[in-house]
Amino acid sequence: MINKHIDVYTNRVHPLVRSRWLAICLCASLSVYCGGVVSTNLVAAQSSAWEFQDDADLGDWMSTGMSGLVRIDSGWLTSPGLVSTDPRLFLRTEVPLTAGYRWDSMQVRFRQLAPDGSGEMQPAPFDSAGTVVTFNGSSENASGHLRDGTWNGKGAWANDRFHSTLKPDGPGYAQLYTVTFEDAPSLRDGNISEIRIDPVGDNIERNFEIDYIRLLAMPIHPTSARMQPVPVALPEVEPLRSDWIDPETGHRIIRLSPDTGGESLYFHQRAYTPEGDKVIINTPQGVVAVDISTLGVSPPTSELIYPGGKSFATAWKTREAYINLDDRILAANIDTKAVREVVRIPPEARSRQVALNCDETLVFGVKSDPDGETVPRHPPTGGAGTGSFYKNWAAGTPKLIYALDVKTGEVRVIHRENDWTNHLQASPTDPKRILFCHEGPWHYVDRIWTLRADGSPAQNLHKRIMHGEIAGHEFFSPDGKTVWYDLQTPISGVFWLASVDLETGERTWYNHEREEWSVHYNVSPDGSVFSGDGGNQRSVAATQMDGTPVPGGNGQWIYLFRPVLSQMDSFDSPEDPLIRAGYLKSERLVDMRDHDYDKVTGVEPNATFTPDGKWLVFSGNFDSPRPGKRALTHTYAVEIAPHQP
């Protein structure tokens, strides 16, 4: 089995101390060594302590600022209270490079502890950084400015910030730096012998952690643009499937992501080119474009188009993937990889939740309102929960929605409220319309709202009429005329896929079986069929209304739904039309019994139809569990038509 990357996890410390070196054993064929200037207790709380040993050969490779390396509860390598202006991590490796391959890049991910020592982490504050990599006795430097994302030197640095879950401290931030070896031939062609990482800057005196170091390789003469394996032999494991027929459903499944993993975009985010020939996914290496133009005929090929980042959507009119860097929006060309700055985001409009309108003239965003007042809420008697979902709803924090003009940079506040504003999305056809939700316990909120960019009042699209009723996970139809959503009357009772026409107010409800409830639904490009991604045994459909478990209540499948409308006519008023009702006929496409749906330990599938309507693209981890840590996510496509041998 050949793996596509080597993860040098600094927390996997093996209690083996050689003379002057601490061995961190990852596998039979690779050992990585960390050196220190003084003998330092690594795990003081354990009876058998591991130590970093002094090595006179290091010279000035290691500074005293890194001599206090300890292992914290989360199992990460940390340097607390740095005071040195020149901290360095030195790694000695013995990684052979198989003939026909060359080293392509290296990734380093840092985490930054908050100044108060709490579990909340912030992006690593380094103003700049450098790396020295030695191959066959030749050294090359690679450096770049990390804060503003510019590129210089012989390597290219790119950064990405994303939420992650740390145990036991909870959510925090991490920052990923990627250095490529394109302009350093001596680095690309030899065996790796030494790596030195030098975080350099004015703000390095805070605690930071190094998550991992990852080495990536590519074939010298690739036969396709698809990312290729790193030629380092690892212990034999079952190879990942790439193309097979689901034995339970008879439908063909093709893996789109490389062996290192990759995740499809959120279910209502646009992920395809206007021509429909490529789909983007977010991978550990960055944004990858997958060619699906001949899907099912020839193996899909993939290409890294933006290293080290994550895309929130593709453009509506151009062949670009959009990336949010907090202080700017970038667009990476899917074909040429050229990156352009779309718009600078002023400090008052910086947000992790943004949406691009359909004519690409406005960026909408959600953020806290600095001029608003907090209006706390009080849950019903006996109904208060203890989780963050309830606490965030009850907080009543002031929020705002803004529109940022891409051409002028002007920011206009178009809506203010004291609700937990979330799930921002732009209409696929109306450049002035957005959809958003009031987040929180669904049975507490009238969740689904729409708003126009002219600042006119927001409009609620579904008002609850019974206790315990819930509606949510809303999304636009492809023509932008309708909003669809999950509806339960009440929660865990009767299940519907419901819609409302934005012009006429006409409503349609399709009933379906309990076991067919899905975390997210979606609709085909022509509006004729729907998809559902199922759910796990802890989902809302797994119990009755009183909380009684229902064995097999939630099916773990990717579903295709065909709508059937009732043929019964009724007399109703044009001013107040009755709800049109029907039901969904289901077909199972993918067996998801081994998939982990949990958002912390796994992933929600987030299925979307390809633009030709012939495949469903979704995320899955059924082939890639990782005991004790989050399962590795892959992106797959399932053919909607049954396989014909």
Residue 360, pLDDT > 90, answer yes
Predicted pLDDT at 278 = 98
Q: What mean pLDDT is predicted for residues 61-74?
A: 25
Token pair belonging to 77: 């390598």
Predicted pLDDT at 104 = 64
Q: How do residues 130-155 score in pLDDT, each as one tens digit?
A: 333 434 334 443 332 222 222 222 22
Predicted pLDDT at 379 = 77
Predicted pLDDT at 388 = 72
Q: Is 84 part of any domain?
A: yes
Residues contacting residue 549 through CB under 8 Å, at least 6 positions apart: 542, 543
Q: For residue 436, give the amino acid letter.
A: F
Predicted pLDDT at 281 = 97
Q: How do residues 244-274 score in pLDDT, each as one tens digit?
A: 999 999 999 999 999 989 999 999 999 999 9
CA distance 530 to 477: 11
CA distance 322 to 365: 14
Predicted pLDDT at 315 = 97
CA distance 549 to 572: 40
- How would you classify the pairing of strands 5-9 and 362-368? unpaired
Mean predicted lDDT score pLDDT of the chain:
72
- Helix runs in 452-493, H state only: none
Q: Is 519 part of any domain?
A: no
- Give me the number of domains the chain comprises: 1
| Secondary structure letter of residue 186 according to DSSP | H
Least-confidence region, from 58-72, 278-292, 353-367: 58-72
Q: How do residues 440-451 score in pLDDT, each as one tens digit?
A: 999 999 999 999
Residue whose pair of structure tokens reads 């039979």 in the numeric block: 28
Q: What is the CATH number of the domain that holds 62?
A: 2.60.120
Least-confidence region, from 123-137, 433-447, 487-501, 621-635: 123-137
Distances (CA, A) of 291 to 240, 269, 281: 20, 18, 11
| Secondary structure letter of residue 179 according to DSSP | E
Residue 550, pLDDT > 70, answer yes
Q: Is 465 exposed, middle or buried (0-12, 13-18, 19+ CB in 10 A)?
A: exposed
Strand ordering across the sheet containing 354-356: 354-356, 362-368, 399-405, 411-417
- Whether cis (ω within 30° of 0) applies to the bond prior to 490 is yes
Write out the residue range of the structural domain in which residue 48 sits.
Answer: 5-219
Q: Is 372 part of any domain?
A: no
Distances (CA, A) of 440 to 181, 420, 458, 463, 474: 46, 7, 18, 15, 14
- pTM for the predicted model, two decimal places: 0.67
Residues contacting residue 609 through CB under 8 Å, at least 6 positions apart: 522, 523, 524, 525, 531, 615, 616, 617
Q: Is 143 part of any domain?
A: yes
Of 539 and 629, which is predicted with more confidence? 539
Q: Is 285 part of any domain?
A: no
Q: Is 65 part of any domain?
A: yes
Q: What mean pLDDT is predicted for residues 570-599?
A: 90
pLDDT > 90 fraction of the chain, expressed in percent and rounded: 50
